[in-house]
Structure 1
């Protein structure tokens, strides 16, 4: 990657990430995922490797109930079938009623009308966090027609103002994924330059990050850690593990396997030496 930030430029975040990773493994958060059919297995395996407890409950009359007992929830709009759309609305209502933190991932919104309307509706329900690529975040903010399917056609920094505005509008942490990840709560901006390009060549690399954010938000809820720190910590752990996996991989296939192993093997003390983080107040 180009324009990497200095290692250990924010040791406080690395320390918080280390504490949350330990807390997550000590008390695995039950992570409710309503996600797209393309990535369900990979997402569950990522959560299991990390130490969380995944549950893929997207059935009407069960999704809302389960959201009420989960530690955290992911709402991913990658394949929004009629049943899944109904389950999504039910789950968001259940999470809101119970105070379960949840993540909205507005996959491929913009030109596609069904998912775009649903994303706007769910964003108005005030998710704890919103995660997407730059084109998806711009589309959710009404500033772009979106990218090319699930692929971004905009740079991360191009979505910075939109992310800040969305955070203020919906009271959410907004995470813009890219070569340098940008995360904001409307008052602070964190940039993380860890990760590897191979993450973009494995189906589910971005979608699974949304689930990891939900798991970290669940762990943070118990520990009283603020959502911005939890989302940034999830991103740091995920992207440092990707670097470890890439060092062992010869291509996308071996990377996918190595990534699961790296998530299982990563330790709290691995984070500070590797972290490339910059934070500023707005």
Structure 2
């Protein structure tokens, strides 16, 4: 009996920690139009794990802006805050596999270690976003040393032991890219998770990192096509690794262009870039906003 392929499923997944801007509009519209073109589903997910920055008024504004753009999505809206046990289960599985470790260094201690190494003439590896790799001093601790440190209630993160994780994953990883990366990369892309070092999967003040929650959510929602901005192109390497380790399905990926401000930087909610709400208040129509994205 032939196996029926899953219905194409796309998602737009903003964080309700600010107002949507033109970059978000491009991503949401691209997802919706690609879903419509293949008779697929268009889902909305609110990535609201950071409860210190995510607020109800921003969630309401997101729903209002998307409806104003003429977008419709399947209900219910998925909120990450409703699914924290799923992320905890995924982290626990990686713990049982021996692929994560508790990391206790503060940001200041990390900076000091990096500075000392560089002043000594030793280049320090940095991830694709420019952040220094974690020193990993706790990576070689014994089980007893880790247990003692965890009993101290010191703030800590759980980090992926990248070397062990890559060994457990086995064969080299790749993904199918129908968009393009920052350098025009397309087609079959070879993943390079090691470029990120020992990434954070959970912190004392946040039950799940973006990397962990996004792969769990995409699998849980049956997402078959991940369509997002090129700023997340390189992060796909980490996501492919976690999908492999956790036995999750591999979506197809499409990274689209970014909307840049007059100074050439990516638009950002935190930097107060012009938002959709402000454009609407200035009298622009939804069609005019769509025209700006052409």
Q: TM-score, normalised by structure 1?
A: 0.29
Of structures 1 and 2, the larger Rg is shown by 2
